[in-house]
Structure 1
C-alpha cells in the first residue's frame, strides 16, 4: 500500500476513533441555556398570571417579564462533543454537574426544592408589594415543618401559630431558635401555640388567631453539636386584606420575586408603571423589599432580549457579571430594592433614562 494512502487511512481511522470517544464519553457537566420569559402583566395558559379580587385593580400596558433558564436534567450526561459545542456557543453555558445538582441531588429533589422556593417567592412578593404601597399585612410566626422522630412530632404541627416560647412573645422566627437554645439538651421548653386548624378558621373569618394553648417539650441535642432543639423549623405566614393569586405553571426557584412584586404594584395603582415599555428582569425579593442575586444571569439577558425587552432590571450583586456581556439593544438597570425598581420604571416611562442606575464591570 502506498505510504500516502496508508497515512490518509490512518488519519481517517484516528478521526473516527476521536469522534466515537467524543460521542460516547460523558464528562460530569451540565448545560444552561436561555429559557422562556413570561409577562407578569399578561396571561399564561389562557389565564392572567396575576389575579386580584376583593380590591380595585387597574389596567396595565407594556411588559414586566420574568425570565428563566433551561438546564439539562440531573440524569442527563453530556458527551464531549456536546460539552465542546456548549463551550463554543455564545448563548449557552456549560457548568460542572455538581453546580446544578450538589451532593448527588436527584432531579425530583431539585424540582421539589425549586417548587418550594417558587411558592415562598410568591408569598414574599405579595408582602413586599403591599408594603411598598403602604397596605398593612398581618404577619405571624408559624411552625413550618416538624422533623420526624423529634420531640415535637405529634405535639406541634405545620401551620401552628407560635405566640410565645417560655412566656416570651415571639415576633420573628429567630426568636424561637434563640429561646430554645437557651436550654441545655434535656431541658423543658414551653410553646404557646394556636393549632393550625383554629388559626386557619380565624384567618378565614378575617380575625387574628388568639386562643393559644401551652405545649411542653423536652429538648434534645442537635446533630451538629450540643445545641438544644425540639425538631421544628419556624417561619412566617401572612393574612392579606384581599386575595392575590399567581397562576404560573412549570416554573421553579425564587428568582421571579421582584417581577411578581412589580406586577402586583402595577395592577393596584392607577399609574401605568411601564408606560407601555418592554421591561424584563430578575431577582429574589424578601418581605422588606430587598432584591437578591440569582443564577444564570447571562442566559436571562439573552432570553429577555430575544423576547423583545429594551430594559432589564438587574440585581445589584449580579451587575458586574451581567455587564460583561450585554446583548445589543438591552439596557441594564441596577436595582437593590423594590423601591429602586419603581423609581427606575418612573424614569423609563417618562423617557428620562439618562439618570438610570447602570451596571458596570468595575
Structure 2
C-alpha cells in the first residue's frame, strides 16, 4: 500500500517559524508604538501648557461695601465738618488681573479663562508697552486711585453745593533734581516768589515761566499736610532751560478733610461709588435705603462719569455679592448686559453724578420705574 507523506506544517518549518514570529512581533509592537505616541502627545500638550503667553487675564475681584469698615477701618473718613451715620450696601467693585509686566500667564491659564464666561483674555500690549515694568504699573495704579479720590470728593462737594478751590499741586519730583528734598509729591504750590499761583493751567504755566526766567533761587510757598512752608530752590539748567524738576497737576483744596483707606486697591473706576459714599456721609438718612446697590465708573470734578475696563467681571462680582442694582456708565452698557449674572440685576445707566444720586434715591424710595436703562430700545 502506498502512502502519501503528510504535508509539511508551515509553522514548523524554518521559514514558517520566522514568519510566525514576525507576525507576533508586529502584533506585540503596535500597542507599544501607540503608547509612545500618546506619551509624546501628552508631553507636548503639557509642555505647551507651561509656555508663558503675552496675555492678561481679567477676573472678578473683591467686592468692598464702602459703607462698612474695610480691613478694620472706615473706608472713607470725613473730619472737620458735620457728618451722619451711613448704613446699607454700596459696593465698590474690583477686577483681579493675572499677567502683565513681571508676571507670567501660561497657555493653560489662558485656555481655562477662555472656557469661563466670567473671565477675559486680552493681549498685554493692549494695556502696557513692552518695556513697562511691574513697578511702573503699580505706581500708575496708585496714582490713578489717588486722583480718583480727589475727583470724587470734588464731584460730591459740587453736587452738594459746597465750595472748594482748585490749586496747583506737585504730582512727582525727579530724583537728583533741584527740587528733590525741598518739595514733595502732594505739596500744593501756593506762591512763587511771593506771587499767588492760580489753580489753573495758566497758573502752572506761570510757575514754569517764573522758574525759567529766574537768575537765582526761586522762593516757593507750599502747603503740606495742612501747613504752609517756605522753601528756596536753585533751578538747574536742563537742555538749555532752567527747571526745578517737578511735574505739576491741578489739585483741590477742600474745606474739610476726606481720607480714604484703600491700600492695595488701584485704578480710577471707583470714583462714582466714592462720590456717592461721600454724599451719603454728608447728608442725613441712608442714601440707599438699605437696598444692595453696586456700581462702577470713573468720575471727574464736574461729576461726569466715564467708562471703565473689566465691566464684565464687575457684573459677575456684584451678582455674587447679592447686589440688586448695578450702576453702569453709558459706554459700558453693552458689555454689562452681556455679562453672566446681568439678568439677575437691574442695570441702571448713569451719565453723571447728579443722575446717579437721583437713581439711588429713587431706588431707596422704591420708585425705580423710570430709572435710566441700559436695555436696548425696542423698535
TM over 0.5: yes
1:29 to 51, 55, 68: 55
1:257 aligns with 2:284: no
Give the gaps of 5 or more residues in structure 1.
Answer: none
Taking a change above 3 Å as real, the CA distance of residues 59 and 6 of structure 1, as seen in their structure-2 partners, is: same
1:63 to 72, 82, 89: 89
Query: What is aligned with 1:171?
Result: 198
Query: What is aligned with 2:373?
Result: 358
Q: How does 1:214-233 map to 2 (within 5 A)?
A: 231-233=245-247
Give the gaps of 5 or more residues in structure 2.
Answer: 1-25
Taking a change above 3 Å as real, the CA distance of residues 267 and 344 of structure 1, as seen in their structure-2 partners, is: same
| Distance apart, 1:314 and its partner CA | 0.9
TM-score by length of 2: 0.78
1:138 aligns with 2:165: yes
Which sits farther off after the overlay, 344-353 or 158-167?
158-167
1:81-139 Cα deviation digits (max 9, x unpaired): 22211111111111223344433322232122212221222222222212211112233
Taking a change above 3 Å as real, the CA distance of residues 141 and 21 of structure 1, as seen in their structure-2 partners, is: same
d(CA) in 2 for partners of 1:144, 1:189:
25
Larger radius of gyration: 2
Query: What is aligned with 1:41?
Result: 67
1:345 aligns with 2:372: no
1:102 aligns with 2:102: no
1:267 aligns with 2:294: no
2:253 to 220, 239, 260: 239
d(CA) in 1 for partners of 2:92, 2:212:
49
Q: Check whether the contact 2:296–2:328 (CA below 8 A) recurs between aligned residues.
A: yes
d(CA) in 2 for partners of 1:238, 1:108:
27
d(CA) in 1 for partners of 2:104, 2:129:
15
Taking a change above 3 Å as real, the CA distance of residues 230 and 247 of structure 1, as seen in their structure-2 partners, is: closer
1:141-175 Cα deviation digits (max 9, x unpaired): 23333335667668866556545789997534421
d(CA) in 2 for partners of 1:104, 1:200:
34
The aligned length equals 349
Q: How does 1:307-346 map to 2 (within 5 A)?
A: 307-325=321-339, 327=341, 328-346=343-361
d(CA) in 1 for partners of 2:192, 2:74:
42
d(CA) in 1 for partners of 2:271, 2:38:
54
Which sits farther off after the overlay, 352-361 or 268-277?
352-361
1:14-38 Cα deviation digits (max 9, x unpaired): 4313322323322212211100110
Query: What is aligned with 2:305?
Result: 291
Give the secondary-structure state (helix, strand or coil) at the position aligned to 1:143.
Answer: strand
Q: Check whether the contact 1:40–1:260 (CA below 8 A) recurs between aligned residues.
A: yes
| Distance apart, 1:176 and its partner CA | 4.2
d(CA) in 1 for partners of 2:217, 2:160:
35
| Distance apart, 1:8 and its partner CA | 3.6
TM-score by length of 1: 0.81
1:126 aligns with 2:141: no
- Cα RMSD of the aligned pairs, angstroms, is 3.5
